[in-house]
Amino acid sequence: MKKDCGYAAAEEVKDGQILGLGTGSTTLYFIEKVGMRVRDEGIEVMGIPTSFQSSLLAREWNIPITSLDEHEIDLAVDGADEIDPDFNLIKGGGAAHTLEKIVDYSADELIIIADESKLVDTLGAFPLPVEIIPISLKPVTKALNDMGGEVAIRMGEKKDGPVITDNGNFILDVSFGRIENPIEMEEELNTIPGVVENGLFTQMVDKVIIGSKDGVKYL
Ligand code: 5RP
């Protein structure tokens, strides 16, 4: 299902476009298929990565890399951890949401790709990732508790201690229960000193491509 929607999104790419390259196990297939189109069809595109993962994949597939200093983005394609009926998202399961938000928000068009398990009625079952400056751990945790959030610092696997993001920061996974007001919450969280970026993405998605047991669906 991830491969189906990732490959379908790659078919939306037009020759000459500057692409925002999302992060995760679904966008991996998007990047792969864009790479195949570069190789087989000779399309000329450039990618702006949202993580070391997408940067390495782009290099592997000979997709030239550029930056926001040099180019504006025509189309960004990214994954999601939850998608609500208004196309509000929770992202950051791969700890890449800060760069993803910068890239996705500055793209002319944003397509989200996901398997059908990511569609929800209300956001919040997936704990909300919040990237923070390490020295702000205690005050940010207190502020998030005051907002009703239960906070867990994300710990590394095959690495002692916390996950360190591509930007050198910590990730807090915050359980708020059902998030009824994602637009307000996205703004409020970023007013806490020490918060770099939160994983709520609201009011920005143009299209969602879902991989399902019954095939690919365009929402
Ligand atoms: C990374 C992200 C990913 O896009 C999100 O976690 C979805 O990942 P996957 O496609 O592996 O399920 O936000 O920070």
Interval 86-111: pLDDT, tens: 999 999 999 999 999 999 999 999 99
Residue 17's CB: how many other CB atoms inside 10 A? 18
Q: Is the dihedral of CA 153, 190, 28, 78 positive or negative?
A: positive
186-203 b/e with 16+ CB inside 10 Å = b? beebeebebbbbbbbbbe
Chain-centroid distance of CA 43 in Å reads: 25
Ligand 1 mean position to 140 CA, how many Å?
24
Residues taking part in catalysis: 100
Task: Give the model's pLDDT for residue 39.
Answer: 98
Task: Give the model's pLDDT for residue 63.
Answer: 98
Ligand 1 mean position to 25 CA, how many Å?
7
Torsion, Cα of 57, 62, 68, 69 (10° steps): 130
**Ligand 1 atom index nearest CA of 28:** 10
Ligand 1 mean position to 82 CA, how many Å?
9
For ligand 1, whether the C-beta of 28 sits within 6 Å is: no
For ligand 1, whether the C-beta of 166 sits within 6 Å is: no
For ligand 1, whether the C-beta of 26 sits within 6 Å is: yes
Residue 203 backbone class (left: φ over 0; alpha: ψ -120 to 50; beta: rest): left
For ligand 1, whether the C-beta of 22 sits within 6 Å is: yes
Task: Give the model's pLDDT for residue 23.
Answer: 98
* pLDDT < 50 stretches in the chain: none
Task: Give the model's pLDDT for residue 11.
Answer: 97
In degrees, rounded to 5, the angle at the alpha carbon of residue 167 between the alpha carbons of residues 66 and 115 is 75
* Full-model pTM: 0.96
Nearest-CA residue for ligand 1 atom 1 is 94
Task: Give the model's pLDDT for residue 173.
Answer: 98
Task: Give the model's pLDDT for residue 111.
Answer: 98
